[in-house]
């Protein structure tokens, strides 16, 4: 499961789930402001739990906070996206290089994540499908047992969550996505590190290439996150 800060109350947890879901399903876009009163009414809670939830999400990197401005979904320029995905590429490559091969029980757990991604997508819940997708990838990276590297990977995944929602339509082809995840699982089961690295890092390398093209003197367009 993806690592998030634990809220102090159920009402705060309710707001956290609602805001995270709105970011992960693309309802809230990078740079969009969150109005506390609107979210209090939407979640049926008072404003203090909303403030606490937004502060937690700000600490996670999903939101930014400006003095006398409020909270906004984290938004990055092309250069910042390039930096974020460069860090992801380096750290995730190292995690794959040093991970310990999973046994049957862990492989079964990863398979369950894949099934959950598909089932959530099929019922029209992209927010839940993206959480399950993050759980799948992060569970693989955690097999390397290098805690500082994993903590930083988790932080970077949180910071790029809104860009994954923009770039990856989890509802578009659930069956095709499932097949891609199964290839990753097959590489793990076969203990094929080279194949695993190629499959699991392909989306990161693609986004990184786009970001670098966008900030180059001859580049054009903008980068989006996976």
Task: Residue 22: give its domain's CATH number.
Answer: 1.10.10.10
* Pair 86, 150 in one domain: yes
Lowest-confidence segment of 2-16, 25-39, 106-120 by average pLDDT: 2-16
- Same domain, residue pair 120 and 199: yes
Residue 220 belongs to some domain of the structure? no
Q: Above pLDDT 90, what percent of the chain?
A: 54
| Between 223 and 200, the higher pLDDT residue | 200
The answer on 99 and 174 residing in a single domain is yes
> Could you tell me the CA-to-CA distances from 162 to 30, 61, 63, 115, 189 in Å, in that order?
6, 10, 10, 23, 31
Q: What pLDDT is attached to residue 222?
A: 36
Whether residue 221 has pLDDT greater than 50: no
pLDDT of the residue at 21: 83
193 and 91 within one domain: yes
Q: Which residue from 45, 58, 84 is spatially nearest to 5, judged by alpha carbons? A: 58
More confident residue, 210 or 82: 82
User: Which domain covers residue 211, as residue numbers?
Assistant: 78-215
- Number of structural domains (the chain) is 2
Whether residue 2 is contained in a domain is answered as no
- Least confident interval from 67-71, 82-86, 222-226: 222-226
Distance CA 142, CA 100 (A): 9
Q: Tell me, yes or no, whether 225 lies in a domain.
A: no
**pLDDT above 70 (res 5):** no
Beta bridge partners of 71: 34, 65
Q: Which of 23, 46, 73 is the last residue of a domain?
A: 73
Q: Which of 185, 107, 188, 95 is closest to 142 using CA atoms?
A: 95
Q: Which of 41, 73, 105 is the last residue of a domain?
A: 73
Residue 209 lies in a domain: yes
Most confident of 4-13, 14-23, 157-166: 14-23
What is the value of pTM for the model shown?
Answer: 0.79
- pLDDT at position 131 over 80: yes
Is residue 209 within 8 A of residue 217, CB to CB? The reply is no
Q: pLDDT-derived band of residue 167, with 50, 70 and 90 as boundaries? A: low
Q: Where does a domain end: 73, 104, 128?
A: 73
Please list the residues that pair with 37 across neighbouring strands: none
86 and 67 share a domain?
no
How does pLDDT run across 198-220, given as a tens digit for each residue?
A: 999 888 888 788 777 776 654 44
Give the residue among 41, 40, 127 at the shortest CA–CA distance from 54: 40
Return the CA Rg of the chain. 18
Indicate whether 111 and 56 sit together in one domain.
Answer: no
**Which CATH number goes with the domain that contains 124?**
1.20.120.530
Q: Where are the alpha helices (DSSP H) in the chain?
A: 10-24, 36-43, 47-60, 78-98, 104-122, 126-141, 147-159, 161-167, 174-189, 193-215
State yes or no: pLDDT of 224 exceeds 50. no
168 has pLDDT over 80: no
Whether residues 41 and 61 fall in one domain = yes
Say how many C-beta atoms besides its own lie within 10 A of residue 145's C-beta: 11
Residue 29 domain flag: yes
What is the predicted pLDDT for the residue at 79?
86
Give the angle subtended at the CA of 223 by the CAs of 127 and 132, to the nearest 5°.
Answer: 20
Q: How far apart are CA 119 and CA 140, in angstroms?
A: 20
Is 85 domain-assigned?
A: yes
Residues 87 and 165 in one domain: yes
Q: Is the model more confident about 112 or about 126?
A: 112
pLDDT in tens, 45-60: 999 999 999 999 998 8
């Amino acid at each position: 499961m993806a690592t998030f800060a634990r809220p102090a109350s159920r009402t705060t947890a309710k707001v956290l789930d609602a805001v995270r879901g709105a970011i992960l399903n693309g309802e809230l876009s990078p740079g969009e402001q969150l109005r506390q009163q609107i979210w209090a009414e939407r979640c049926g809670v008072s404003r203090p739990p909303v403030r606490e939830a937004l502060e937690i999400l700000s600490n996670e990197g999903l939101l930014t906070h400006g003095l006398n401005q409020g909270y906004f979904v984290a938004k990055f320029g092309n250069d910042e996206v390039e930096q974020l995905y460069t860090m992801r590429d380096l750290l995730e490559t190292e995690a794959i290089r040093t991970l310990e091969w999973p046994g049957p029980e862990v492989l079964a757990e990863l398979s369950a994540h894949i099934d959950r991604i598909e089932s959530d997508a099929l019922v029209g819940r992209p927010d839940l499908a993206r959480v399950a997708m993050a759980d799948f990838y992060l569970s693989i990276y955690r097999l390397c047992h290098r805690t500082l590297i994993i903590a930083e990977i988790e932080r970077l995944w949180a910071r790029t969550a809104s860009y994954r929602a923009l770039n990856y339509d989890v509802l578009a082809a659930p069956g095709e996505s499932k097949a891609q995840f199964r290839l990753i699982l097959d590489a793990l089961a076969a203990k094929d590190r080279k194949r695993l690295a190629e499959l699991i890092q392909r989306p990161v390398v693609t986004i990184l290439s786009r970001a670098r093209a966008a900030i180059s003197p001859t580049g054009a367009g903008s980068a989006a996150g996976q």
